[in-house]
Protein backbone atom coordinates (compact mmCIF):
# COMPACT_ATOMS: atom_id res chain seq x y z
CA UNK A 1 0.00 0.00 0.00
CA UNK A 2 1.10 3.50 -0.82
CA UNK A 3 -0.62 6.52 0.69
CA UNK A 4 -3.67 4.45 1.65
CA UNK A 5 -4.05 2.71 -1.68
CA UNK A 6 -3.12 -0.57 -3.31
CA UNK A 7 -0.69 -0.17 -6.19
CA UNK A 8 -2.35 -0.71 -9.58
CA UNK A 9 -0.41 -3.88 -10.35
CA UNK A 10 -1.40 -5.35 -6.99
CA UNK A 11 -5.17 -4.68 -7.29
CA UNK A 12 -7.30 -7.80 -7.19
CA UNK A 13 -10.76 -6.26 -6.79
CA UNK A 14 -12.68 -3.34 -8.25
CA UNK A 15 -12.97 -1.95 -4.72
CA UNK A 16 -9.16 -1.68 -4.61
CA UNK A 17 -9.09 -0.05 -8.05
CA UNK A 18 -11.81 2.44 -7.09
CA UNK A 19 -10.21 3.13 -3.74
CA UNK A 20 -6.90 3.87 -5.45
CA UNK A 21 -8.55 6.17 -7.98
CA UNK A 22 -10.45 7.98 -5.20
CA UNK A 23 -7.23 8.55 -3.21
CA UNK A 24 -5.46 9.84 -6.31
CA UNK A 25 -8.38 12.14 -7.13
CA UNK A 26 -8.12 13.67 -3.65
CA UNK A 27 -4.46 14.43 -4.28
CA UNK A 28 -5.04 15.66 -7.84
CA UNK A 29 -7.78 18.09 -6.76
CA UNK A 30 -5.63 19.38 -3.90
CA UNK A 31 -2.80 19.99 -6.38
CA UNK A 32 -5.17 21.69 -8.81
CA UNK A 33 -6.32 24.00 -6.02
CA UNK A 34 -2.70 24.89 -5.33
CA UNK A 35 -2.11 25.46 -9.06
CA UNK A 36 -5.04 27.90 -9.16
CA UNK A 37 -3.59 29.74 -6.18
CA UNK A 38 -0.56 30.36 -8.41
CA UNK A 39 -2.99 31.87 -10.93
CA UNK A 40 -4.19 34.16 -8.12
CA UNK A 41 -0.58 35.22 -7.62
CA UNK A 42 -0.03 35.74 -11.35
CA UNK A 43 -3.14 37.94 -11.58
CA UNK A 44 -1.85 39.98 -8.65
CA UNK A 45 1.66 40.35 -10.07
CA UNK A 46 1.04 41.01 -13.78
CA UNK A 47 0.98 44.68 -14.65
CA UNK A 48 -1.48 44.58 -17.54
CA UNK A 49 -4.35 42.39 -18.69
CA UNK A 50 -2.68 41.56 -22.03
CA UNK A 51 0.01 39.65 -20.12
CA UNK A 52 -2.54 37.12 -18.84
CA UNK A 53 -2.61 35.14 -22.10
CA UNK A 54 0.88 33.97 -23.04
CA UNK A 55 0.75 31.51 -25.93
CA UNK A 56 4.47 30.71 -25.72
CA UNK A 57 4.12 29.78 -22.06
CA UNK A 58 0.99 27.75 -22.80
CA UNK A 59 2.89 25.73 -25.42
CA UNK A 60 5.77 25.24 -22.99
CA UNK A 61 3.46 23.96 -20.21
CA UNK A 62 1.70 21.52 -22.55
CA UNK A 63 5.01 20.36 -23.99
CA UNK A 64 6.37 19.77 -20.49
CA UNK A 65 3.27 17.76 -19.59
CA UNK A 66 3.65 15.60 -22.70
CA UNK A 67 7.33 14.99 -21.97
CA UNK A 68 6.57 13.98 -18.38
CA UNK A 69 3.70 11.76 -19.56
CA UNK A 70 6.02 9.92 -21.91
CA UNK A 71 8.63 9.41 -19.20
CA UNK A 72 5.94 8.11 -16.82
CA UNK A 73 4.34 5.76 -19.34
CA UNK A 74 1.11 7.76 -19.60
CA UNK A 75 -0.66 8.44 -22.91
CA UNK A 76 0.95 11.70 -24.04
CA UNK A 77 -1.90 12.74 -26.34
CA UNK A 78 -4.47 12.34 -23.57
CA UNK A 79 -2.29 14.27 -21.13
CA UNK A 80 -1.76 17.03 -23.70
CA UNK A 81 -5.53 17.27 -24.23
CA UNK A 82 -6.12 17.50 -20.48
CA UNK A 83 -3.45 20.16 -20.16
CA UNK A 84 -4.92 22.15 -23.04
CA UNK A 85 -8.18 22.33 -21.08
CA UNK A 86 -6.40 22.97 -17.78
CA UNK A 87 -4.33 25.83 -19.18
CA UNK A 88 -7.36 27.41 -20.86
CA UNK A 89 -9.33 27.14 -17.60
CA UNK A 90 -6.36 28.66 -15.77
CA UNK A 91 -6.20 31.56 -18.21
CA UNK A 92 -9.95 32.20 -17.87
CA UNK A 93 -9.64 32.09 -14.08
CA UNK A 94 -6.65 34.44 -14.14
CA UNK A 95 -8.58 36.92 -16.31
CA UNK A 96 -11.39 36.86 -13.74
CA UNK A 97 -8.99 37.43 -10.88
CA UNK A 98 -7.16 40.18 -12.79
CA UNK A 99 -10.46 41.96 -13.51
CA UNK A 100 -11.42 41.79 -9.81
CA UNK A 101 -8.32 43.71 -8.79
CA UNK A 102 -8.86 47.12 -7.25
CA UNK A 103 -8.24 49.90 -9.74
pLDDT in tens, 71-93: 999 999 999 999 999 999 999 99
CATH 1.20.59.10 is right for the domain spanning 8-99: yes
Reported pTM: 0.91
User: What does the alpha-carbon distance between residue 101 and residue 79 come to, in Å, rounded to a whole number?
Assistant: 32
pLDDT in tens, 24-76: 999 999 999 999 999 999 999 999 999 999 999 999 999 999 999 999 999 99
User: What does the alpha-carbon distance between residue 66 and residue 78 come to, in Å, rounded to a whole number?
Assistant: 9
Amino acid sequence: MSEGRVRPGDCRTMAEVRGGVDRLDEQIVALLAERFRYMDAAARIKLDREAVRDEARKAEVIGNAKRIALSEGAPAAAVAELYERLVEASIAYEFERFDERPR
